[in-house]
Amino acid sequence: MPRIAHWIGGAETAGTSGRVGPVFNPATGEQIAEVDLASTAEVGHAVKAATEAARVWRSSSLSRRAAVLFKFRELLAERSGELAQIITREHGKVLSDAAGEIARGLENAEFATGVPHLLKGSYSEQASTGVDVYSIRQPLGVVAGITPFNFPAMVPLWMCTTAIAAGNAFVLKPSEKDPSASLFLARLWQEAGLPAGVFTVIQGDKEAVDAILAHPDIAAVSFVGSTPVAKYIYTTGTAHGKRVQALGGAKNHMLVLPDADIDAAADAAVSAAYGSAGERCMAISIVVAVGDVADPLVDAIASRLPKLRIGDGTDPDAQMGPLVTREHRDKVAGYVERGAAAGATVITDGRTADVPKNGFFLGVTLLDHVTPEMDVYRDEIFGPVLGVVRASTYAEALALINDNEYGNGTAIFTRDGGAARRFQLDVNAGMVGVNVPIPVPVAYYSFGGWKASLFGDTHMYGPDGIHFYTRTKVVTSRWPDPGTSSIDLGFPQTR
Check residue 491 and give its pLDDT: 82
Q: Hey, which bits of 292-430 come out as E strands?
A: 345-348, 365-368, 385-391, 406-407, 409-413
- Based on the domain organization, do 144 and 8 belong to the same domain? yes
Residue 22 falls within a domain, yes or no? yes
- Based on the domain organization, do 214 and 74 belong to the same domain? yes
What are the Cα distances from residue 398, in Å, to 288, 305, 405, 410? 9, 28, 14, 11
d(C-alpha 197, C-alpha 7), whole Å: 9
- Based on the domain organization, do 308 and 215 belong to the same domain? no
Per the structure, the complete domain to which residue 64 belongs is given by: 3-248+453-475
d(C-alpha 341, C-alpha 131), whole Å: 73
Check residue 410 and give its pLDDT: 98
- Based on the domain organization, do 211 and 308 belong to the same domain? no
Where is the domain boundary, 401, 434, 467?
434
Please give the helix or strand (H or E) that residue 127 lies within, else none.
strand 122-128
Residue 276 falls within a domain, yes or no? yes
DSSP lists the bridge partners of residue 320 as 310
Q: Tell me how far the alpha carbon of residue 470 is from its chain's centroid.
A: 20
**Averaged pLDDT, 329-352:** 98
- Based on the domain organization, do 239 and 276 belong to the same domain? no
CATH code for the domain in which residue 273 is found: 3.40.309.10
pLDDT in tens, 447-475: 999 999 999 999 999 999 999 999 999 99
**Averaged pLDDT, 27-41:** 98
Structural domain count of the chain: 2
Please give the helix or strand (H or E) that residue 478 lies within, else none.
strand 470-478
- Based on the domain organization, do 194 and 270 belong to the same domain? no
- Based on the domain organization, do 229 and 257 belong to the same domain? no
- Based on the domain organization, do 39 and 142 belong to the same domain? yes
Whole-number average pLDDT of the chain: 97
pTM of structure: 0.96
- Based on the domain organization, do 110 and 149 belong to the same domain? yes
Cβ atoms 184, 75 nearer than 8 A: no
Residue 265 falls within a domain, yes or no? yes
- Based on the domain organization, do 319 and 389 belong to the same domain? yes
Report the share of the chain in percent with pLDDT over 90. 96
d(C-alpha 264, C-alpha 268), whole Å: 6
- Whether 494 has a pLDDT exceeding 80, the answer reads no
What are the Cα distances from residue 69, in Å, to 114, 137, 181, 194? 9, 19, 18, 9
pLDDT in tens, 115-167: 999 999 999 999 999 999 999 999 999 999 999 999 999 999 999 999 999 99
- Based on the domain organization, do 268 and 143 belong to the same domain? no
Cβ atoms 459, 468 nearer than 8 A: no
Buried/exposed 31-47: b ≥16 CB within 10 Å, e otherwise: eebbbbbbbbebbebbb
- Whether 238 has a pLDDT exceeding 90, the answer reads yes
Compute φ and ψ for 67, nearest 5 degrees: -65, -40
Is residue 281 among the annotated active site residues? yes
Cβ atoms 219, 141 nearer than 8 A: yes
pLDDT in tens, 398-449: 999 999 999 999 999 999 999 999 999 999 999 999 999 999 999 999 999 9
Residue 66 falls within a domain, yes or no? yes
- Based on the domain organization, do 112 and 193 belong to the same domain? yes
- Whether 482 has a pLDDT exceeding 90, the answer reads no
Q: Tell me how far the alpha carbon of residue 462 is from its chain's centroid.
A: 13
Q: Among the options 244, 281, 293, 386, which is catalytic?
A: 281
Residue 394 falls within a domain, yes or no? yes
